[in-house]
Structure 1
């Protein structure tokens, strides 16, 4: 029999998304699966109901809203440390049949893969650019400035890798909405950096894995669909500032020298101004006819990350 696999998901009032997640998981792999719900304070009863109704689901209460990376780390620490792999996934993912087994097969082909991620589809069936380059200060800034007004600019295309062939390959970082993690690699870099409350923790993890000699491998033959942003889209006034703060942390950590203090100051000021602008725009869209903020509203800062359960 194939070895059991732990699947970790961070919940924050996930609603019906969690049921879809668990129902579709049954066809994603032939391995026995244990699901750990790292709950950051749900009030909708969905995590409790899932744990009561399903024998393979375990509820892990974090005690408070400790953020995405911190909650994921806490649940991963409760899994068998001898297990070779663990999955960390958002609860608003719908699995395609065999998707986990495709990731596991790719892990055998790439023994230096610290993380592997699937092709992620939008709810309308279009491909989401989930495998990207690690943003440097220059390309990230130009993407932030031009991404929403000139989506086809070369810096945004280079960063998002929209025009790259859809083939199995190492990339800079992978969407944290669905990751197969080699446990020894994840542990070797200390897991997610819990200083990131939400957003950018996947960019940071991919970058640190790469710096430690591991690969982040995109596996397009594995397919999932991600609803995205069911928590984030409701509260742009808190989510978008958190995203900009994470963007600052990511670049400040990589430019720590005393002589780079003026650069960090300019970066913080610029992101603060941009945060106010995009929050105002997102609130207008949320409260108007256009609905919740679009994908580029929270993502076009200096470096980007995925919408995340808190």
Structure 2
């Protein structure tokens, strides 16, 4: 029997893009893999739930697509958990779950390619696709786990330092070859459902950001591998659903939940001492970026409010022990 896959798309304020993501799944043949789609609306502002219900009816999606109109914005991880836990309780759960961003769409038979890879390698818990922008330019889709050194290097944003510590760079090249990596983008990742549920699913402490990194960190600690599979291709309108792009942060001020998630990730994966070390490294690097940016006549890397927000929402809670609120 071909392995079965449940696709989960979590929508928040991007109904039209979510509908196109669904259409990209329905239009593929998936090489005989049974595929079902679950589209969860995370209590979007406006009329997204009604819009998606109308689209569901008008486009004849029928039983192929299940709508989940939530009354609370759960965030990304908890939103996925709503569907994951329901799927796991079935008498016959799907073998795999494929998480697809609402601002992403399949470019080939990505679901079948990823499912075939999980079929072939039972010690692998997650496989991620390659990602391109609408322009066709590839972007990083596989990564190393963040460390204190990598946080310092990214925050300082100085070429000689980046080259000196290239071995800790978080983002791997867009042309990263097929094979094991620390984690893959949550925009297009397929998990073995039994492995995800064995480690408890997404950590509900995270609202948005770092939740997929932390989940893959737990899967790795449990002895599973994570693979980047570039043959599977997905197009992603980066930042359309979250308003924060990947790679370099934008100038706009980051929301409080980004800082909280950053802090929780390092706390949960490295303990308080490790999280404090990473926080001090990141902030020191950001401070050093100021004279570097001035001398090079470049804009400073840190987003607006960073030099007040990071100490308040990361360093102070970690140093005082109020690090889980």
| TM-score normalised per structure 1 | 0.78
**Structure 1 173/262 Cα, relative in aligned 2: closer, same or farther at 3 Å?**
closer
- Give the 3-state SS of the residue equivalent to 2:130 in structure 1: strand
Structure 2 counterpart of 1:52 = 57
Q: 1:124 aligns with which of 122, 128, 135?
A: 135
Alignment of 1:1-310 (within 5 A): 2-25=2-25, 26-27=27-28, 29-30=30-31, 31-42=33-44, 43-45=46-48, 46-53=51-58, 54-55=61-62, 56-79=64-87, 80=90, 82-146=93-157, 150=159, 153-154=162-163, 155=165, 158-162=169-173, 166-233=176-243, 239-257=254-272, 263=277, 266=280, 277-279=302-304
CA distance in 2, matches of 1:167, 1:266: 33
Q: Please tell me whether Structure 1 or Structure 2 has the larger radius of gyration of its CA atoms.
A: 2
Contact 1:28 1:97 in 2 (8 A): no
Give the unaligned 5+ runs of structure 2: 290-300, 307-313, 315-325
Distance 1:104 1:173 in 2: 17
Q: Distance in 1 between matches of 2:8 and 2:275?
A: 38
Query: What is the alpha-carbon distance in structure 1 between the residues aligned to residue 13 and residue 255 of structure 2?
Result: 19
Q: What is the CA–CA distance in structure 2 between the aligned matches of 1:76 and 1:271, rounded to whole Å?
A: 38
Q: Over aligned residues, Cα RMSD in angstroms?
A: 3.3
In structure 2, how many angstroms separate the alpha carbons of the residues matched to 1:254 and 1:69?
17
Inter-CA distance 234–216: structure 2 relative to 1 (3 Å threshold):
closer
Alpha-carbon distance, 1:261 to partner:
8.2
Preserved contact between residue 203 and residue 211 of structure 2 (Cα < 8 Å): yes
Gaps of 5+ in 1: 282-300, 302-310
Change (3 A) 1:74 1:23: same
Q: Residue 140 of structure 2 contacts residue 173 of structure 2 at CA under 8 Å; is this kept in 1? A: yes
Is 191-200 or 227-236 further displaced after alignment?
227-236
Contact 2:11–2:39 (8 Å) recurs in 1: yes
Q: 1:68 & 1:270 partners in 2: Cα distance?
A: 30
How far is the alpha carbon of 1:206 from its aligned partner?
1.3
The 3 A distance-change label for structure 1 pair 23 and 261 is: closer
Equivalent residue pairs, number? 278
Is the 8 Å Cα contact of residues 10 and 68 (structure 1) preserved in structure 2?
Answer: yes
1:97 shift after superposition: 2.5
Contact 2:152 2:281 survives alignment (8 Å) = no
